[in-house]
Homo-oligomer: A and B are copies of this chain.
Amino acid sequence: MAGKEIEAHPKEKIEELGRGIVKDIRSGNNPKFVTYARKRSNILFDQKNGYLKLGKSKEERDFLNVAQSKRFMQTIAVAAKCHKFVKENLHTTIRGLYYQLKYSLGEDVDENIFSEQSESNPLIEDIEVSLDLTRENLNLNANRKGVLAGNMKVMDRFGDEKLEIDCSKQGRSGWAIPSDVDNDIDFVDVKAKYAIVVEKDALWQRLNEDGFWKKENAILITPQGQAARGTRRLIRKLADKGLPIYVFTDSDAWGWYIYWTIKTGSINLAYMGSEVATPEARFIGVTMSDLDKYEFLNKLTMNASEVDLKRAQEMISYEWIKKSKPWVVELERMISSKKKLEQDALQGPRLTFVDDYIKDKVKNKDFLP
């Protein structure tokens, strides 16, 4: 799992794709581009290993097919640009790539290769899947979010420098998790008993101020909402190092889905499969059952909106969730009571209550699967 990015060889793989096409043309064959279909019907839940992945349904793009030749040409143009970025050893975003593609035909050509970024985005994913590479291997940065503190060092080979960053010496700021945590970055000296992922930065700051991660010898992470690709990969890598992963979110469908995304991966990133999934993750809270354990929380609930309840219904219908009894119980309780709860509410009795809440849950292994 962790080995893939090291042996990615994106430059060679793109060149191989190019050579294949040239060979086809020279020998009078119809050049083809083959990838796995990313449509919903080809997204499967791997029951045994506990994550979302693509099935075996393939998609072909032929140059000599009027309906496919434009997309074929576009796909090759995207691959060529990525090849250039990798060769130059420079990074950009999928938006930067789009602008280069739009620019590249020059001003004397009327036709645009692309008129909207929504045309180039799926082709990047096609290439990722087809060549078994990630966007990060193609030097395309994804959005980044997420902050970390804890007894861990990062070795960042950045440009000409080799920088050691001590995540226990970042003060109130924490270490900002980059968009790519695979290439040119190593996690060394990870000395922690577990990692805890806290949905909201506000709570992360609270716990960081209390020195929670020092006292517990934990790695304290916030994805700041739904976890970006880099943060999901980081969590996967910490799990690979043997750290238990605990997740702490709001008690509503959105918070709970942050957990599920970390655990099983998401529908959108199903094509990345096990690389962005951490099936070993466990859920700490907030749960609807916390209302029974912590009397005061009953005063601090909020009304769930129609949208909240619809999303909860949707979650129950997902194959990978509906088989988990305790989660069905939680979701049904939310739907019938029409209530939700924020993690911030745990500050009600005193600001440091949230520290004890997590410690108790970890100590008693009071998790949802």
B156 touches A163 (CB 8 A): no
A202 touches B348 (CB 8 A): no
Note all chain B residues with C-beta closer than 8 A to A351: 85, 88, 90-92, 96, 100
Known: A96-B347, A172-B180. 19 other contacts (CB 8 A): A90-B209, A92-B202, A92-B206, A92-B347, A93-B205, A95-B202, A96-B202, A99-B342, A99-B345, A141-B205, A154-B171, A156-B173, A158-B171, A163-B171, A165-B171, A170-B176, A172-B178, A174-B176, A176-B176
Note all chain B residues with C-beta closer than 8 A to A159: 209, 211
Q: B172, B178, B300: which contacts A102 (Cβ < 8 A)?
A: B300
Complex: chain B residue closest to A170, CB-CB: B165
Copies in the complex: 2
Shortest A210–chain B CB gap in Å is: 8
In the complex, what distance in Å separates the CA atom of A170 from the CA atom of B102? 34
Q: Which of A308-360 contact B (CB under 8 A)?
A: 342, 344-345, 347-349, 351-352
Task: List 8 A-B residue pairs with CB atoms under 8 Å apart, sorted by A's residue number.
Answer: A90-B352, A102-B348, A103-B296, A103-B349, A107-B295, A173-B175, A173-B176, A173-B178
A-B pairs, 6 with minimum CB distance: A103-B348, A156-B171, A158-B171, A173-B176, A96-B347, A93-B202
A96 touches B206 (CB 8 A): yes
Shortest A174–chain B CB gap in Å is: 6
A153 at the B interface (CB under 8 A): no
Shortest A173–chain B CB gap in Å is: 4
A179 at the B interface (CB under 8 A): yes
Q: Which of A185-224 contact B (CB under 8 A)?
A: 185, 201-202, 205-206, 209-211
Complex: chain B residue closest to A96, CB-CB: B347
In the complex, what distance in Å separates the CA atom of A161 from the CA atom of B173? 14
Complex: chain B residue closest to A295, CB-CB: B107
Shortest A12–chain B CB gap in Å is: 22
Note all chain B residues with C-beta closer than 8 A to A173: 156, 165, 175-178
A299 at the B interface (CB under 8 A): yes
In the complex, what distance in Å separates the CA atom of A85 from the CA atom of B300? 20
Complex: chain B residue closest to A354, CB-CB: B96
Complex: chain B residue closest to A179, CB-CB: B205
Note all chain B residues with C-beta closer than 8 A to A185: 172
Note all chain B residues with C-beta closer than 8 A to A347: 92, 96, 99-100
A39 at the B interface (CB under 8 A): no
Note all chain B residues with C-beta closer than 8 A to A156: 171-173
In the complex, what distance in Å separates the CA atom of A158 from the CA atom of B109? 59
A96 touches B209 (CB 8 A): no
In the complex, what distance in Å separates the CA atom of A364 from the CA atom of B154? 40
